[in-house]
Amino acid sequence: MQRVFTANFTRARIKGIFNTRKFGDRTTCPSCGYRHKFYKLSDGRWQCKRCDKKFGLLTGTKINRTDFRLQEIYELLFWFELELTDHKIAKRINGNYQKIHRFYNKVRERLKEYEEDSIELLDGEVEVDETYFGADFKNRRRSKREKLRKEGKVKRGRGAKDLKEAVFGIYEREDGIVYIKPVADVTKGTLQDIIKDKVNIETRIYSDTWKSYNGLEEDFKSHRVVDHGEKEYKRGKATINGIEGFWGYAKERLLKHHGVSPENFLAYLKEKEYRFNHRHLTGEDFVNKMLEVLLNRGEVTP
């Protein structure tokens, strides 16, 4: 693998970066939490004096069993930050596509977990909306279009759930962060259960006029709407431009992958959520934050 971003990084320097992001200022046993005495093993791992467990920098992480060394992992994270496709990255660095793709899927899975764990309760003022991801019927292959017609799945608008993936989103205005979740349907019960789980009751909620949002004012501080059917996109503070901005951001970036398999869709989507919520970080800061997320299962610094 060709190293571009980390070509001047020594092995010791990269190991030091991993060590800092994993343990902070002091090595800690992941099994018992002991921080005082460890035996250094010939393979670079440690053995805890208290519990005798052996561990390394990748122990207990999504990327523990990987095809790459630490230097290569760090290099791959810099390429990931650029948001190129896995195929393009493999080509640029003369790497094995299958190995790189497997590694990046592990990264996406961890980012998905992190987003679910770190976003607990949104408050202040939030915007809620639902949308659909997937290719339009006219843009699908002819054989696929014919198959969908025979199965009676050709629908439009909000009823297109058989053709596209329904996704619900909440945008918190103060911190400028989003929380998104694929849903089986966009009924009142489904959407409002998510809102009640993720939004503080003292929150002002803004939405469009979709009937599933009716009655939110009974459980939250207030609920105001804009009527897109009447070409209304802002009424005082009532607008959902924030969450709609994220939809555009995510859909534009997913297009470059030319289709994502259903089993990987959520991980790719949550990757976009993570990128959006950390858009203030770029370059090495983004990479080191992501490295910290990958190496830790518990609390991670914001």
- What CATH number is given to the structural domain containing 197? 3.30.420
**Mean pLDDT estimate for the chain:** 90
Identify whether residues 91 and 148 lie together within a single domain: no
Residue 3 domain-assigned (yes or no)? no
Of 113-122, 138-147, 182-191, 264-273, where does mean pLDDT reach its minimum? 138-147
Beta bridge partners of 206: 127, 224
Overall domain count for the chain: 2
Q: Is the pLDDT of residue 204 over 60?
A: yes
Domain span holding position 55? 11-117+282-295
Identify whether residues 61 and 107 lie together within a single domain: yes
Q: How sure is the predictor about 158, in pLDDT bands with cuts at 50, 70 and 90? A: very low
CA separation for the pair 96, 109 (Å, rounded): 20
More confident residue, 44 or 205: 205
* Cβ–Cβ < 8 Å for 286, 279: no
Q: Which residues of 165-195 are buried (b: 16+ CB within 10 A; e: fewer)?
A: bbbbbbbbbeeebbbbbebeebeeebbbebb
The segment with the largest mean pLDDT, out of 28-32, 61-65, 103-107, is 103-107
Residue 173 domain-assigned (yes or no)? yes
Helix (H) or strand (E) holding 17, with range, is helix 11-23
Identify whether residues 123 and 255 lie together within a single domain: yes
Identify whether residues 166 and 205 lie together within a single domain: yes
Residue 100 domain-assigned (yes or no)? yes
Residue 301 domain-assigned (yes or no)? no
Is the whole-model pTM more than 0.75?
yes
Identify whether residues 95 and 165 lie together within a single domain: no
Taking residues 66-78, what's their average pLDDT? 96
Lookup: tokens for 242: 């924030």
Beta bridge partners of 167: 131, 182
Residue 1 domain-assigned (yes or no)? no
Residue 271 domain-assigned (yes or no)? no
